[in-house]
Structure 1
């Protein structure tokens, strides 16, 4: 479609990615309502008792941590960057999103219960979620470096 309408795929990706954190936020809120992907036990005052398979002990509401960080914080960062003039080079927003998403996922895994079938890897040091987040961090950083070095300006239809 981009080729047919002579649109830059990088610019279209940059435009589309700015709204993705809002969808992630809503998805994580749904995880919380459904009592899925709960966190480790906690003594903090905001611990939540999920019941069912999670038991009757307060746990970190890791879904809400992710909703806030992956959703609200990442959206705010992308939105603020999108208001800069002149616009950042093509691919920058995509890189910032992938980097930010990877960092948030890696950090939140410290308070989440790992998948029962996988547990901890490498002698109890890292979870599969953290292992899978590392490539996102490197790819996001690489995209940012590539975008800044290529320095292709956003097209005229982005104002």
Structure 2
């Protein structure tokens, strides 16, 4: 048995051997006005920027289909407020649900570059941004959410890839041949749960939502695509949490679920309600 364990450890993939670095571009040391700077661009920051920009361009593509819920100019306004919602909502949700100790030192909350964002909070921020743009322009909140939902998996995919490059949010111990030893997680091989999430929340959810958008009339039923997004993301996250190591400061909660799983439950319920009630809302009539 000990020899089998040793062979298993030797055959596991070591994260360091992948040659990945959280820093995408090191701009070197700068000396300006008597001060020393060492600016670096991280993949995590690029994932957020790239996800927002690519999702914006993709929404513009979707808006070319008949029955669009807003104009390209209104979309630009939404991108600004959605970016703000992602940053503020994502950070505050992380602090309240995962790191409430930060509340005793508020200055720590502003250090976004050190990581710590909640995808659930970011989504709430985006929904509030949609409501704000809807209110200012007299638009349909649900129909905008349908389009945004179809593009959101792009950002989710890039974010999870950035998590993997950072070697963070690793999975639970595993004996599978693709298990990886993450240096900061100890000597045991673990599930690369970041890649599981990238595949489910990113690739598969994107394919499903956009098949529904282009191959069916779901986009003309307000709230239906937004509902599918909520259910798809919620179920994906709930499943992957069984393979992902729980947050060390929280662990598995007293009711047997992780915080990530717990936060997905109201999301899935809201999504199911949107799907089941979509046929009761006035449909959109769009000329082909």
| Same-fold call, TM cutoff 0.5 | yes
1:106 touches 1:130 (CA, 8 Å); kept in 2? yes
Query: In structure 2, what is the equivalent of residue 60 of structure 1?
Result: 191
Equivalent in 146, 152, 155 of residue 20 of structure 1: 152
Flag the 1:155–1:38 CA change in 2: closer, same or farther, 3 A.
farther
TM superposition score normalised by structure 1: 0.88
Query: 1:38-67: CA deviations, max 9, x gaps?
Result: 000111001011112x01221100000000
**Match status 1:74 vs 2:205:** yes
- Runs of 4+, deviation exceeding 6 Å: none
CA distance in 2: counterparts of 1:6 and 1:109, whole angstroms:
39
CA distance in 1: counterparts of 2:277 and 2:218, whole angstroms:
16
1:87 touches 1:153 (CA, 8 Å); kept in 2? no
The structure whose residues are more often helix, as a share, is 2
Give the gaps of 5 or more residues in structure 2: 1-132
2:218 touches 2:224 (CA, 8 Å); kept in 1? no
Query: In structure 1, what is the equivalent of residue 165 of structure 2?
Result: 33
CA distance in 1: counterparts of 2:213 and 2:271, whole angstroms:
17
The Cα of 1:32 is off from its aligned counterpart by 0.3
CA distance in 2: counterparts of 1:15 and 1:36, whole angstroms:
30
Flag the 1:99–1:85 CA change in 2: closer, same or farther, 3 A.
closer
CA distance in 1: counterparts of 2:170 and 2:244, whole angstroms:
6
**Larger-Rg structure:** 2
The 5 A counterparts of 1:56-135 are 56-88=187-219, 89-122=221-254, 125-135=256-266
CA distance in 1: counterparts of 2:216 and 2:246, whole angstroms:
43
CA distance in 2: counterparts of 1:122 and 1:17, whole angstroms:
32
2:237 touches 2:260 (CA, 8 Å); kept in 1? yes
Residues 59-68 or 111-120, more deviating:
111-120
1:47 touches 1:59 (CA, 8 Å); kept in 2? yes
The Cα of 1:81 is off from its aligned counterpart by 0.2
1:11 touches 1:154 (CA, 8 Å); kept in 2? no
CA distance in 2: counterparts of 1:129 and 1:14, whole angstroms:
23
**SS, match of residue 57 in structure 1:** coil
**SS, match of residue 83 in structure 1:** helix
Length, aligned pairs only: 155
Root-mean-square deviation (Å): 1.9
Query: In structure 2, what is the equivalent of residue 154 of structure 1?
Result: 284
TM superposition score normalised by structure 2: 0.50
Give the gaps of 5 or more residues in structure 1: none
